[in-house]
Amino acid sequence: MKFLDQAKIYVRSGDGGDGVIAFRREKYIEFGGPDGGNGGRGGDIIFRAVPNLNTLIDFRYTQHFRARKGGNGAGSDRTGAGAENVIINVPIGTQIFDEDRETMLADLDIPGKEVTLCKGGDGGFGNATYKTSTNRAPRRADKGWPGEERWVWLRLKLIADVGLVGLPNAGKSTLLSVCSRARPKIADYPFTTLHPQLGVVRISGTEEFVIADIPGLIEGASEGAGLGDRFLGHVERCAMLLHLLDGTESQLVRNYRLIRGELHAYAETLAMKPEFIVLNKCDALTATQITAKRRALEKASGAPVFLLSGVTGAGLPELLRAVQDKVTAARQEEKAGIVGA
């Protein structure tokens, strides 16, 4: 299935049905009076987050969604039928923006969460509504109220606990493949990963977390270089970041600062997330090289550095355990915050 994380669609709710002018006419009833019914309500446009979707590709082929008009009223005080709502299923983590692409209208980040984006128009009143003691035969009925319409942007931000960031060929896809059942494309050239990948890491029977691999960043990504920074939105919801660095590179500190700069350029909230620094491809380094590069990274970052070989798996259990502990602590803090609120 092709991955698509942005789409522009048109939505329109249904108009309300029209009220009618009618009078009761029955044999032996001389003054029947007005009995025109009201119109039915138009259908709403409702967005719903569902767990079995992970892309917006369906909206490339279907871009217009319209709800039906409510039924018109009828004589004998019959109200028109209300139109069915149009429910649009989207992946969990979908954000809905106005046409300006800046004003957020809704954030569907919980399974089953719904939002009514366009409400259907109310039905018009029939002439039975307007009868009074002084106006016993009103000849007035209203048209139904129009529905709402708008163009909106859908933007998908994947729901994951841990986000992988780093330069191209840092070994992010390899790490994802060895710690989960995900099978991303792996090759020895840059930008092998062209769209985000998700994997579920299971530490034990009850402990697990979701990890997201995004395409590699390069210098100037915030200005559109390479694949740009458009995929960084998929790690904005993560509890923490795993910053992978290729240990075989000679300018490790420069590479580390480069990625940190791109994170700051994208969003300060993203740059402030907890981060584990991982020196990858240690199987290709000597013990002396590992010690020197680790010390240099710790000095530049002020944080401990994990050692890892994605190929041999050396250092992987220790890294995953530390990540799981961090994710568990973040979940507990979030749960405590919700309960406290």
Binding-site positions: 166-173, 191-195, 213-216, 280-283, 309-311
**Cα 109 to Cα 159: distance, rounded to the nearest angstrom:** 8
User: Which residue do the tokens 């509890």 mark?
Assistant: 239
**Cα 91 to Cα 147: distance, rounded to the nearest angstrom:** 26
User: Annotated binding site for GTP, which residues?
Assistant: 166-173, 191-195, 213-216, 280-283, 309-311
User: Annotated binding site for Mg(2+), which residues?
Assistant: 173, 193
Closest CA to 180 of 283, 4, 324, 56: 324
Contact 243, 252 (CB under 8 A): no
Would you give the distance in Å from CA 180 to the centre of its chain? 22
Closest CA to 244 of 284, 216, 205: 216
Q: Which residues contact 33 (CB under 8 A, 6 or more apart)?
A: 23, 24, 131, 136, 137
CA torsion 137-140-141-145 (nearest 10°) is -150
Three-class secondary structure assignment of 168-227: CCCCHHHHHHHHCCCCCCCCCCCCCCCCCEEEEEECCCCCEEEEEECCCCCCCHHHCCCC
